[in-house]
Amino acid sequence: MKDFLLDIVSLIYPRVCVACHSSLFKHEQHICNRCYITLPKTDYHLQKDNPLHKVFYGRANVTAASSFLFFQKKGMVQKMIHALKFKGKPEVAQLLGKWYAEDLKQSNTSLTYDYIIPVPLHKKGMQKRGYNQSEYFAKGLSEVLGIPVITNVLIKYRFTKTQTNKTRAERAENILQSFSIENAGVIDNKNVLLVDDVITTGATLEACIIQLQKSTNTKVSVASIAYAQ
């Protein structure tokens, strides 16, 4: 009976893959198996001094940097990011977090973190979207790795509107000024993993790392769902 109802529901609201829009089988969630096996993984967690880590050289003190996927314009990852960011499907971010955590677990890396900290959204952004996609990614990682997520330390206190009318330097300065730290003692002497949805220039993470390292002796590593080279 339950299966029958599910069949009816999927007739009305067809369940499709967020990446290729083909119909999903019952056992598939959000992303079809064909897309799953062709995910463009970076495997940066296996590579010390990888290209993403180099993004932060001379800018912020990062212990390790990795990303689950490569972001390709008009590719499947862009469609996934669009779905989890703008189409009310944060569960996609959570699923990707779980998959990434499985990879990390298998390679025995990243199991020594004390906390996972998602890049925060400003209150206004939160109201507008209703959720923070990076927090869902963090939740997925947390479920598999057993590392707690904390959201009361890194705060976004300035709402950054579209910055198209600003110069690159002005934009960078603006981002740098928009985060702050609270309850800094919570992460004193801790090893934290800062997570974001997409890394492009690294400016957002740089701003967050500067805040996190205002606490005492805090090691920060970064991970994202996707990296746009």
State how far the Cα of 217 lies from the Cα of 123, in Å rounded to an integer. Answer: 29
CB of 33 or CB of 189, closer to Zn ion: 33
The strand pair at 219-227 and 65-70 is best described as parallel
Q: Pick the binder of Zn ion from 19, 141, 208, 223 (CB under 5 A).
A: 19
Among the listed ranges 12-20, 123-131, 164-172, 217-225, the one in contact with Zn ion (CB under 5 A) is 12-20
Q: Does 17 bind Zn ion (CB under 5 A)?
A: yes
DSSP calls for 174-210: HHHTSEEESSGGGGTT-EEEEEEEEESSSHHHHHHHH
CB of 125 vs Zn ion, minimal distance in Å: 29
Q: 21 to each of 14, 75, 79, 89, 145, how far by Cα in Å?
A: 10, 13, 10, 14, 30
CB of 32 vs Zn ion, minimal distance in Å: 3
CB of 24 or CB of 186, closer to Zn ion: 24
Task: For residue 126, report the phi and psi dihedrals to the nearest 5 degrees.
Answer: -65, -45
CA angle in degrees (0–180, nearest 5) for 226-92-3: 155
209 token code pair? 């790392």
CB of 32 or CB of 222, closer to Zn ion: 32
Q: Pick the binder of Zn ion from 35, 62, 69, 208 (CB under 5 A).
A: 35
State how far the Cα of 95 lies from the Cα of 116, in Å rounded to an integer. Answer: 16
Q: How many CB atoms lie within 10 A of CB 169?
A: 8
CB of 17 or CB of 209, closer to Zn ion: 17
Among the listed ranges 33-41, 50-58, 120-128, 138-146, the one in contact with Zn ion (CB under 5 A) is 33-41
Q: Does 32 bind Zn ion (CB under 5 A)?
A: yes
CB of 185 vs Zn ion, minimal distance in Å: 45
CB of 18 vs Zn ion, minimal distance in Å: 8
119, 162 contact by CB (below 8 A): no
CB of 5 or CB of 37, closer to Zn ion: 37
Q: Does 20 bind Zn ion (CB under 5 A)?
A: yes
Residue ranges binding Zn ion (CB under 5 A): 17, 19-20, 32, 35
